[in-house]
Structure 1
Amino acid sequence: LEKKCETLKKLLLGIEDFPLSNVPGSSRDTFGDAYEFLITMYASGAGRSGGEFFTPPEVGKLLAKISLQDPEREDGYKRAIGKVYDPTCGSGGLLLKFAKILGKGNVDHFYGQDVNLTVYNLSRMNMILHGIPFEKFDIVCEDTLLKPAFLPSAPDSVGDRFECIVSNPPYSIKWKGEADPTLINDPRFSKAGKLAPQKKRRTGLLRSTRSTACRKTDALL
């Protein structure tokens, strides 16, 4: 892995002064796709650990297409959406699938959260290289289960909630569950009357994610 990182470092230094913006037919998405390809190669080489921040493009496309289904439209799919959210966004690939399928101008805003600082920076860079304006995405580095960044301001506040929630949470996500009884007072979990056990980490995340949804939300985990 260290050898691969050193090779990548030399590659980046080698092209630092190359006039990429003057290459005929080039675009930000071209460089974004190249960046995503490098992430794919890194995740593949990292094995299981790589899967904690990266979802294969084919899987991401499938999740996005499922969440965009609209039986009221002739072609069966939405043409635009408001807010899309990934509570464990990793490198941001799932969020970007909506931009690729619908077009960047047809997604109002992207929201994401990840506890890993390195991965958080990867996702922000991924957004920028794919041409997503800085003011159209909010990525936060924080633990989604312990400090969710995008809870609605009020229980019935639809305006603060998301039209699409899509996520592929890592199995290594930490969840105290019953070991921290104070969590039962958290409005995200109190309605269930009982906390998910420590071993049911994804159940805890599912309950947390539901609190950011509304009746029109399509949530996929």
Structure 2
Amino acid sequence: MPSDISAVLLPSTGPQTRWTQGLDTFGTLAGKAAARSCARSRGVAMPQMMPGMFFRIMDIPDLPFIRLHGFNGGFAPGESSVAPPAAVASTPSPAQQQCAQEGMRAGRELKDVYAPLQSQWWTRTASLRRDPRVEAAYRHFGECLSDHGVQAKDENAFFALADQRMQSGDTAGAQHLGDVYATCMAPVEAVREPLRKKLKDQFRTVHAAELKRLSTTLPAKIHELEKRYGIEISFPTP
């Protein structure tokens, strides 16, 4: 964990979002661990739950990571896309449903510590899409995609194509799209990143007291959950 908690909660660059992704994924791992402990104590199979995965943050793209790995953020250590046989069940029992709910509560226990402040930051970063300077930079994004042989009229269409490639198992095709995206998005980020840094400076000033409090309470909650469930926080690496 960085000493400056704002790098985790208020990312302004793509690489900083790796801290944020790790924090969010840790909540998923804590929830799964709580559900697993509940299922073990009740003598039932582990309820089916989403694996701990690192998800991209669309408004703050990690271009170096995307260029290397495409859009697959990957799984947290010990996690995979294949659910264990015991987790596969057509209809969960009442006990399994209760354990799944217990898992969701454990995940929210962490999220509730930082989400109220962070959600305000996401609103601020999303607002940059309406900035005339960013809009002007985005106008060349579709042209760049076309120059690289990618037929997508905008970013949403591009991601739909990328998701289609990944779901079909076209690893090479998805990786190529990641490289094209990093190239075409670089001019947009060249405009947007300084604006985010300016927003962050303002945001940190306004919320200085809350950030100071979270610099103590958030690491404490993470360590508490690590000890309680025997898990560790982790972050995606390039």
TM-score (norm 2): 0.21
Larger RCO: Structure 1 or Structure 2 (Cα < 8 Å, ≥ 6 residues apart)? Answer: 2
Greater share of strand: 1
Bigger-Rg structure (1/2)? 2
Greater share of helix: 2
TM-score (norm 1): 0.22
